Structure 1
């Protein structure tokens, strides 16, 4: 489990193909190494990965082909930076929202404005099946960062996230370009609630159609 608060940026220093996927070697900042052990979970751009090797400040992770296909880790290359968060411990402050590290889908950036002194934002588009879970003021994890939806256009499947300077300083968002893919994890309770309400309404409507209108005539 994670909190959606990015604690640092890592640098991909190797990406070695394997029979089952790719082994990434990521250089960690020193302040994220304390107590790190083989088998620990780390969110890398919002994807929960397991530490398989530690060599100084260079940490190895195995990413299977399915994860590469379903997330933007398949787009990552040597020299890219990634957002990092160590797994939460009991009693840690949850500054964002509960994030599982299981990516729901990816979004494609349609607008990026991160320079200057004005509004910093990204806009992205998702497949129609995911639009029902994304709404104004709702929580999302975008590449592992807990963020709030500032604008929502569900009909077009486009959404805007505003970014404060502190978020830009602590994350890799400054490397974003139009057309890039970002990992999206919808907030779990929101997804469950929407699914339950949708099924309940569908069942009620189906039951009404089965019964049909009553005939008032004797």
Structure 2
């Protein structure tokens, strides 16, 4: 389980690509690499990955076809940086919202609006997931727990505080970038339950 509170960024040191497979090695900050274990879960750009090997703060992960096809991790190059969060432990503060690290798809960053005190990012709102992307709802973007500030038919926005820009890769993203999306599971459960209830009610009335 993850909280969507990104702990920092990690630099990609090596990428070994084969058919529908990639071994990725990233360098974590030293203080974030304590007590690592093989098989532990770490989210990179919001994607839950399993530690396959580590040497100090250099940590390697195996990415299979499903991960490469669904996320933006296959787009990355050596030297790029990714957001990371180590798995939450019992007793940790949940400062964001509960996240699984299971990415639904990628979204395009449409535009960035900057002012002296605000940074507003606009993303596409795909039709197949629009019912889960609701005003003031939660969303996971590249592993960050964020609140939807404004929702329109084909796009939505989030506001980023200076600390988020400093701590994550959002401070350097440009329009056109692909960003990993995780739908809030509670929102999905509520929406799907209501849709099923209404569908059953409609069938009962017409039947």
Shorter-chain TM range is over 0.9
Give unpaired runs (5+ residues) of structure 2. Answer: none
Query: Which residue of structure 2 aligns with residue 77 of structure 1?
Result: 77
> Is residue 163 of structure 1 aligned with residue 160 of structure 2?
yes
Give unpaired runs (5+ residues) of structure 1. Answer: 211-218
Kindly state the Cα deviation for residue 174 of structure 1 after the two structures are TM-superposed. Answer: 1.6
Alpha-carbon distance in structure 1 between the residues aligned to 2:61 and 2:142: 17
Query: Which residue of structure 2 aligns with residue 152 of structure 1?
Result: 151
Q: Verify the 8 A CA contact 2:125 2:133 in the aligned structure 1.
A: no
Query: Which residue of structure 1 aligns with residue 183 of structure 2?
Result: 186
Q: Cα RMSD between the aligned structures?
A: 1.2
Query: Which residue of structure 2 aligns with residue 126 of structure 1?
Result: 125
Kindly state the Cα deviation for residue 19 of structure 1 after the two structures are TM-superposed. Answer: 4.3
Kindly state the Cα deviation for residue 106 of structure 1 after the two structures are TM-superposed. Answer: 1.6
Q: Verify the 8 A CA contact 2:12 2:77 in the aligned structure 1.
A: yes
Q: 2:169 aligns with which of 164, 169, 172?
A: 172
Q: TM-score, normalization: structure 1? A: 0.91
Kindly state the Cα deviation for residue 205 of structure 1 after the two structures are TM-superposed. Answer: 1.3
1:145-172 deviations in whole A, cap 9, x for unaligned?
A: 111000001x22x110000001111111
- Kindly tell me the number of residue pairs found equivalent between the two proteins: 207
Alpha-carbon distance in structure 1 between the residues aligned to 2:169 and 2:65: 24
Q: TM-score, normalization: structure 2? A: 0.96
Alpha-carbon distance in structure 2 between the residues aligned to 1:184 and 1:19: 25
Q: Verify the 8 A CA contact 2:10 2:27 in the aligned structure 1.
A: yes
The worse-fitting range, judged by mean Cα deviation, of 118-127 and 143-152 is 118-127
Kindly state the Cα deviation for residue 85 of structure 1 after the two structures are TM-superposed. Answer: 0.4
Alpha-carbon distance in structure 2 between the residues aligned to 1:90 and 1:66: 29
Alpha-carbon distance in structure 2 between the residues aligned to 1:57 and 1:113: 36
Kindly state the Cα deviation for residue 87 of structure 1 after the two structures are TM-superposed. Answer: 0.3
Query: Which residue of structure 2 aligns with residue 112 of structure 1?
Result: 112
Alpha-carbon distance in structure 2 between the residues aligned to 1:5 and 1:16: 29
Give the 5 Å matches for 1:7-86: 7-86=7-86
Q: Verify the 8 A CA contact 1:108 1:126 in the aligned structure 2.
A: no
1:164-204 deviations in whole A, cap 9, x for unaligned?
A: 00111111112211111111111111101100101111121
Kindly state the Cα deviation for residue 20 of structure 1 after the two structures are TM-superposed. Answer: 4.4
Alpha-carbon distance in structure 2 between the residues aligned to 1:44 and 1:190: 23
